[in-house]
C-alpha cells in the first residue's frame, strides 16, 4: 500500500452592504499525513468598495462601474512524496547461516526529517476594476506581493553521513509585480462584434533566504 491522507476544515463568511461594500473572510485548517507537523491554519480576508454605486458617481455618464479591492490570504503546500517524514528500511537476505537465510534490515536512503511542515505562501493583492462608455471600455490594474516561506526542498546531506538527499523546509522566496489590462469593443451590432485587448505585466522574483543545513 502506498498512499496518504489529507484532512481539511474550512469556514467562510460573506457580507455585502447596499451593493457597495463587500467583505469575505475564510479560514482553513489542513492536515497532511505526508508531514511531521501535520496540521496548520491558513486565513484569508478580502475587501471591496464599489464607488460607482456611491451618490457622487451614480449619475456619471462616463464611468459605469468602478471598484477598488484588496485581499490577503495564506495557502499551504504539502507536495512531497508519501511517507516523506518517515525513516525507511530495506529488508533483504544478507547471508546464509546454519541452513537458513535470515532476513536483515538496513537503513534505506537518508534519515527522515524531524520537523517537516507545510510550505506557506502569503499573498497580498490590491486592484482596481473599471468600466466606461456603457461597457465598451474596460480596465483592470493590479498589484500583488507573494512571500513563500518554509520551502519544501530536497537537500543533500554531507557525504560524511552518506550524501543522500532528504526533504526539509528551507529558505524563502518573494514574488511581486504589477498587471494592467485594457479592453475595448468599438463595434457590437449583434451579428458582428469587434473586440481589442491589451495587457502588460511586470514581475520580480527574489530569493530572500537560502537557509542553513539542518537535519
> Is the separation of the CB atoms in 202 and 177 below 8 Å?
yes
What whole-number distance in Å separates Cα of residue 26 and Cα of residue 132? 32
Question: What per-residue confidence (pLDDT) applies to 57?
Answer: 87
| pLDDT at residue 7 in the model | 93
- Number of other CB atoms surrounding residue 127 within 10 Å: 16
Model pTM? 0.81
pLDDT at 215: 44
Q: Report pLDDT for 109.
A: 60
Position 61 scores a pLDDT of 85
Query: Cell digits for 181?
Result: 489590462
CA distance 71 to 23: 10
In the sheet with 39-50, reading across from the earlier edge strand, the strands are: 6-17, 21-32, 39-50, 63-77, 119-132, 137-149, 172-188, 193-209
* Selection from 50, 58, 52, 1 nearest residue 21 by Cα: 50
In this prediction, residue 198 carries a pLDDT of 96
Q: Tell me the Cα Rg of the chain.
A: 27
Residue 137: partners with Cβ closer than 8 Å, 6 or more residues away:
131, 182, 183, 184, 185
Residue 109 near residue 38 (C-beta atoms within 8 A): no
CB 74 within 8 A of CB 120: yes
Walk along the chain (215 residues) in steps of 10 and give the mean pLDDT of each run: 83 96 97 91 97 89 94 94 74 65 65 83 97 93 96 78 76 95 91 93 92 55
Amino acid at each position: 500500500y502506498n498512499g496518504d491522507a489529507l484532512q481539511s476544515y474550512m469556514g467562510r463568511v460573506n457580507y455585502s452592504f447596499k451593493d457597495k461594500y463587500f467583505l469575505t473572510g475564510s479560514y482553513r485548517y489542513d492536515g497532511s499525513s505526508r508531514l511531521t507537523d501535520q496540521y496548520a491554519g491558513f486565513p484569508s480576508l478580502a475587501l471591496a468598495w464599489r464607488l460607482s454605486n456611491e451618490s457622487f458617481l451614480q449619475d456619471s455618464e462616463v464611468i459605469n462601474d468602478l471598484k477598488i479591492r484588496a485581499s490577503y490570504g495564506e495557502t499551504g503546500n504539502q507536495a512531497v512524496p508519501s511517507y516523506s517524514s518517515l525513516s525507511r528500511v530495506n529488508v533483504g537476505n544478507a547471508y546464509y547461516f546454519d541452513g537458513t537465510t535470515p532476513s536483515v534490515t538496513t537503513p534505506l536512503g537518508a534519515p527522515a526529517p524531524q520537523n517537516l511542515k507545510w510550505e506557506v505562501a502569503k499573498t497580498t493583492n490590491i486592484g482596481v476594476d473599471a468600466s466606461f462608455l456603457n461597457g465598451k471600455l474596460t480596465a483592470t490594474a493590479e498589484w500583488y506581493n507573494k512571500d513563500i516561506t518554509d520551502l519544501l526542498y530536497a537537500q543533500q546531506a554531507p557525504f560524511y553521513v552518506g550524501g543522500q538527499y532528504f526533504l526539509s523546509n528551507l529558505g524563502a522566496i518573494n514574488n511581486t509585480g504589477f498587471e494592467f489590462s485594457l479592453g475595448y469593443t468599438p463595434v457590437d451590432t449583434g451579428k458582428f462584434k469587434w473586440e481589442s485587448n491589451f495587457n502588460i505585466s511586470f514581475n520580480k522574483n527574489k530569493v530572500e533566504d537560502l537557509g542553513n543545513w539542518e537535519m
